[in-house]
Structure 1
């Protein structure tokens, strides 16, 4: 499979909206479309990709703010972990009332479970429950592409915040150490903000391992 991974920054918080594309079929999965749906569509069109699905690593507004517009315009399904449904449906927990100053709630089309394997755009995607930043935070591992989309769980030389509603420092550390750090060292980490890194680099850098 000929895959391509790239992103654009969207919204006021410079959130990374990721594209996982199958260059053989010209289909693409969008991960965390936080804002600016027109720019997201334009980026896909520039590459000649058809967006066929949307994955959410978690339900904070800066990661899901463009979901409703994209789902309506493109007719695609949005996937999120079962444990995140409550946060997506609560404007205080998903931070929309604080960041956007308005109520934004969202109900995904498909609820996922830890360990589930999806096949989207002809690509196999493993769902990994990585709570701590939010209760239903998850990461998506794509072995064939050698990458993991970590949302706000793992960043370059940092981990996510755990002081938002439903957050847990201990759960976050366990998720990184006991789940993400089991992936191959050369796995590219595609985070929700900031630069890419690798699992191997983060294992050496983070002192809690």
Structure 2
């Protein structure tokens, strides 16, 4: 059984997830900031990172990418539609806020296609393309383990914002309906911010999904 550690990082408390197996290898999802805290958790639990996976390339999900990548010499996975976003503040959103520095991250090492299955070490992951919050937003489904990392597509009682570059409420709702609400109803969905939820809970109580 896989283990899940969660850190809330950076100015908007972005969820970073560290998924580890029995061999102590781990995947790091959305290391948004505060790399020292990530390093400390890895050291405390004696974990060996083998990859960084990004649900999308907004600034609050990518701030610690280069530090983590270089320290552990591991690849970064990102959807191909956001290939240029890591290095361009006008796309990753950091350029929108004068109080923030411009985030310029090195290119991803591996670009994901719309739908595919990944095998990274012992980890089996289904990639679900869930655009709307951003064009290259993806969710990572660990079907055999009963959970998925869904980024900023769906939150407990809410949905991702769609007023940023290339956002689309129509596409977001289609992604939620077609890719997330069709997952097993008790599957745990881990979002980019806030608390986990399930498809059943959101179908029953999320006001943004009325009529689905």
- Relative to the length of structure 1, the TM-score reads 0.95
Give the Cα separation in 2 of the matches to 1:29 and 1:60: 19
1:56-205 equivalent positions in 2, closer than 5 A: 56-99=54-97, 100-205=100-205
Q: 1:181-202 CA deviation, whole Å, 9 max, x = no partner?
A: 1110111010000011111111
Q: 1:127-149 CA deviation, whole Å, 9 max, x = no partner?
A: 11000000101100001221110
Q: 1:207 aligns with which of 203, 207, 210?
A: 210
Correspondence for 2:14: 15
Give the Cα separation in 1 of the matches to 2:39 and 2:199: 30
Give the Cα separation in 2 of the matches to 1:165 and 1:207: 26
Q: 1:95-120 CA deviation, whole Å, 9 max, x = no partner?
A: 12234232424310000112211112
Higher mean displacement: 94-103 or 3-12: 94-103
Alpha-carbon deviation of 1:152? 0.4
Q: 1:148-173 CA deviation, whole Å, 9 max, x = no partner?
A: 10100011111100000110000000
Give the Cα separation in 1 of the matches to 2:24 and 2:91: 36
Alpha-carbon deviation of 1:46? 1.7
RMSD: 1.2
Alpha-carbon deviation of 1:60? 0.5
Q: Is the 8 A contact 1:96 1:104 kept in 2?
A: no
Q: 1:72-95 CA deviation, whole Å, 9 max, x = no partner?
A: 111000001111113223211101
Give the Cα separation in 2 of the matches to 1:103 and 1:37: 15
Provide runs of 4+ in structure 1 moved above 3 Å: none
Q: Are 2:8 and 1:5 aligned?
A: no
Q: 1:43-87 CA deviation, whole Å, 9 max, x = no partner?
A: 122222111110000000100110011111110000011111132
Structure 1: stretches of 5+ with no match in the other structure: none
Give the Cα separation in 1 of the matches to 2:58 and 2:211: 26
The number of equivalent residue pairs is: 207
Higher mean displacement: 140-149 or 54-63: 140-149
1:12-51 equivalent positions in 2, closer than 5 A: 12-22=11-21, 24-51=22-49
- Note closer, same or farther for the CA distance 1:208–1:88 as it changes in structure 2 (3 Å cut): farther
Give the Cα separation in 2 of the matches to 1:96 and 1:122: 35
Give the Cα separation in 2 of the matches to 1:65 and 1:103: 7
